[in-house]
Structures are given as C-alpha cells and as structure tokens.
C-alpha cells in the first residue's frame, strides 16, 4: 500500500504550481525531486490497474460459480447390486432405499452406513414413502410371468407402522396394471398411478384404495401434490395433468406444438400452486408459471434422459438422469450446470431432506449423497 502514499506537498505541485513559484526550485536538486515524483505517479496507475484486474478476476469467479452448487456429491457404500428405484428420508439421518427383488436398505446416519433390512417381499419395490418415522408405504410390482391367472393383481401396496421392521400387504381393488408411484399429502390423502393412465386414491392414509376414472391412456410416471386438492401427474406421450379437486377431474397441460409428441415426462416438482417444472426424455425440461395450464421448454444442455427433479423455491433446483447425470440451477432453470456425480450409472430417483442434504439412487446399488458443506470455496479477503 506504500505505492499510494504521496506527500501532500507533492500532490500540491502536481496540481499545477510552477517550479519558479516555489522557493525549493531555486536551490537545485529540483530535477531529481521531479523524477521521484514522476516515478511515484507512474506507480499509482499501475497499482490501480492491478487492483482493478484482481477485482475483475474475483467478479468473474463469483459469476461463474453463482449457478453452481457449493457442495459435492459422493458415492455411498451399500453392498448391494440391486437396481434401486426410490429413496426416502424422514430427516437428514434416517432413510430407506428400495429396488429390485424386494431390496430394502435402511440407514440411521445419513447414509454413511447402509444395511439390508428384512425383505418385505420378493417382488420389485417401485416406490417408498413415510409420513413419519413409523408409518410408511411401499409400491410393489409382481413379475408378470409369475402370475397364476389374469385375475391376480399386477401391483399391490404394503404398509408399516413400526419404521419398516414389519410390513402388511394392502389390497388395491382393480390393480390389474402396473402401479409406478404413490404420492401423499399431509391430510391422509394419497394417490397411486401407473399403466394405462390408472389412478387410485385413498382418504384414510392408505388403508383403503378406490380407482378413479382414467384421464389418459398413457403410462403415468411421476407426480406431486401440494395439498389434498391440488396436484399434477406426468407421463408418456407428453402427458401433463392437473387437478384442483383431489383427482376427481383433470386438465391437460398445453405444450408448444413443435416436437413434443415424443417427450416422455418422468417427474414434476412444484414450489407453489403456479410455479413448477417437469423433466423427461432427451434432457427435456419444461416450466409453467400458471399452474400447469401451459408449459415452456428450458435448455438443460444435455441429451440424457432425466428421471427426477426437485425444486426448493423459485430459484434453486436439481435434476438427475441416465449416465450419472446430475444438474443444478440457481436461476429457476434459465441456466443448468452439470455437476459431478461420481458414477456412470443411471440415477432414477432424487430426495432432499433439506436443501443441504440430498440423495440419489439408481442402477447397480448406486447411492450418491449431497453435502452442501463439502468443497466450499472461501473467497480470499484483501488485507488493508
């Protein structure tokens, strides 16, 4: 900082005072003094240039990382090769992951260690949900080649009231099709959906289920409800459905007419009754700002199929997909950044206990976990 220290007398001379008007100019040695002033003046612009350059570099780094996450994804050990289809946590420590051949994994330390729980079934487990640490449900799908008759249900649900230690089968009347997912609201309402546009609903926390009229013939793959009346379902054939009466009636969302017929939507996420996103095949990402009536595409920057999406608010969200794809945005989807996942395997489901603790699961027993505190970059402070 000595480069900026200039004596007041020097500053006054630089202000325009003629040498002959100063008594020091008659005593000789004035020229060396002028040279010293000249060197001092040349240092000031140089120092300012360096500070300006440093500021621009820091500004560039900040703007570049503004859309990137501050944490990182790390693979967790599972000792399982099962194809994991779903994951659910009740807090940042306790969670479950489910998949092929009745695989049920559980953890009590945020995934630092996973153990295999007693298998509730030998069939594929497609989905899992817990309303609290004790009460939970799983969606199971039978192997079609093991069915003894056409009257046997293709899918069924199971329920636990002791945190997954024991499971009891729940009959779903009319479940002669594959059920892919089940979503619940906080008011004991639930919806299960899947093949052929089939939708089932419960009013008593999953004890009894009834079948609703199918609003579409396409396979339904993802959905979300923000209360007992307002929800959205998505699926094949560019299907996006919206209900405001708990599923009694459904409205079809409108997409731009160009190149939408082949979109297979796998998941949707809403942060309020109007703002939401849907992701699907070929890296497709769409956003709505009017509750799902119409949708506009966003550029994901990838061609990988996207299978799940989660937004915390109008700005920050995540999406996962095939080939270990993990995307992050902090601009409401205007720009998406590819994050390192540490795996080449397909990631099928995403879950966040809060915005700093998340997990994604997929093929080959893969579980990756997000820690917002990892790899946090500290911006250096300039000394005064």
* Cα(100)–Cα(123) distance, integer angstroms: 7
The token duo for 178 is 């594959």
Percent of residues, the chain, with pLDDT higher than 90: 69
Q: What is the mean pLDDT of residues 12-35?
A: 43
pLDDT classification of 93: cutoffs 50, 70, 90? very high
* Cα(118)–Cα(110) distance, integer angstroms: 20
Please give the residue that has the higher pLDDT: either 261 or 343.
Answer: 343
Decide if pLDDT at 29 tops 60: no
pLDDT for position 47: 54
pLDDT for position 63: 44
Q: What is the mean pLDDT of residues 195-210?
A: 93
pLDDT tens-place string over residues 272-331? 999 999 999 999 999 999 999 999 999 999 999 999 999 999 999 999 999 999 999 999
Q: What is the mean pLDDT of residues 343-372?
A: 97
pLDDT tens-place string over residues 342-356? 999 999 999 999 999
Contact (CB, 8 A) for 316 and 71: no
CATH hierarchy code of domain 73-371: 2.130.10.10
Neighbouring C-beta atoms of residue 40, cutoff 10 Å: 17
Contact (CB, 8 A) for 85 and 347: no
Classify the C-alpha dihedral 98-99-101-103 as positive or negative: negative
Decide if pLDDT at 194 tops 90: yes
Neighbouring C-beta atoms of residue 37, cutoff 10 Å: 17
């Amino acid at each position: 900082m000595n480069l900026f220290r200039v004596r007041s007398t020097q500053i006054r001379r630089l202000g325009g005072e003629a040498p002959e008007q100063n008594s020091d100019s008659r005593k000789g040695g004035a020229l060396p003094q002028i040279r010293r002033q000249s060197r001092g003046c040349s240092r000031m612009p140089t120092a300012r240039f360096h500070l300006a350059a440093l500021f621009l570099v820091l500004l560039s780094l900040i703007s570049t990382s503004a859309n990137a996450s501050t944490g990182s994804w790390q693979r967790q050990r599972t000792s399982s090769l099962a194809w994991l289809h779903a994951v659910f946590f009740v807090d940042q420590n306790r969670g479950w992951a489910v998949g092929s051949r009745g695989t049920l994994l559980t953890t009590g330390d945020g995934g630092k260690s996973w153990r295999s729980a007693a298998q509730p079934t030998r069939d594929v487990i497609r989905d899992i949900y817990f309303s609290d640490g004790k009460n939970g449900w799983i969606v199971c799908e039978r192997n079609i080649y093991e069915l003894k008759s056409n009257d046997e249900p293709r899918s069924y649900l199971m329920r636990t009231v002791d945190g997954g230690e024991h499971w009891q089968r729940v009959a779903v009347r009319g479940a002669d099709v594959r059920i892919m997912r089940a979503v619940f609201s906080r008011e004991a309402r639930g919806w299960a959906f899947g093949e052929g546009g089939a939708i089932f609903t419960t009013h008593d926390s999953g004890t009894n289920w009834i079948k609703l009229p199918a609003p579409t013939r396409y396979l339904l793959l993802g959905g979300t409800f923000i209360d007992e009346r307002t929800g959205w379902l998505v699926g094949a054939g560019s299907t996006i459905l919206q209900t405001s009466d708990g599923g009694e009636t459904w409205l079809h969302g409108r997409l731009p007419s160009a190149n939408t017929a082949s979109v297979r939507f796998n998941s949707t996420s809403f942060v309020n009754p109007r703002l939401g996103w849907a992701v699907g095949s070929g890296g497709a990402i769409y956003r709505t700002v009017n509750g799902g009536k119409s949708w506009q595409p966003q550029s994901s920057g990838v061609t990988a199929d996207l299978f799940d999406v989660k937004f915390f608010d109008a700005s920050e969200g995540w999406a996962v997909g095939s080939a270990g794809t993990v995307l992050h945005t902090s601009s409401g989807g205007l720009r998406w950044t590819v994050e390192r996942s540490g795996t080449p395997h397909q990631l099928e489901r995403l879950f966040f206990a809060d915005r700093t603790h998340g997990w994604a699961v997929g093929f080959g027993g893969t579980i990756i976990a997000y820690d917002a505190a990892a790899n946090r970059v500290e911006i250096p402070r300039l000394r005064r």
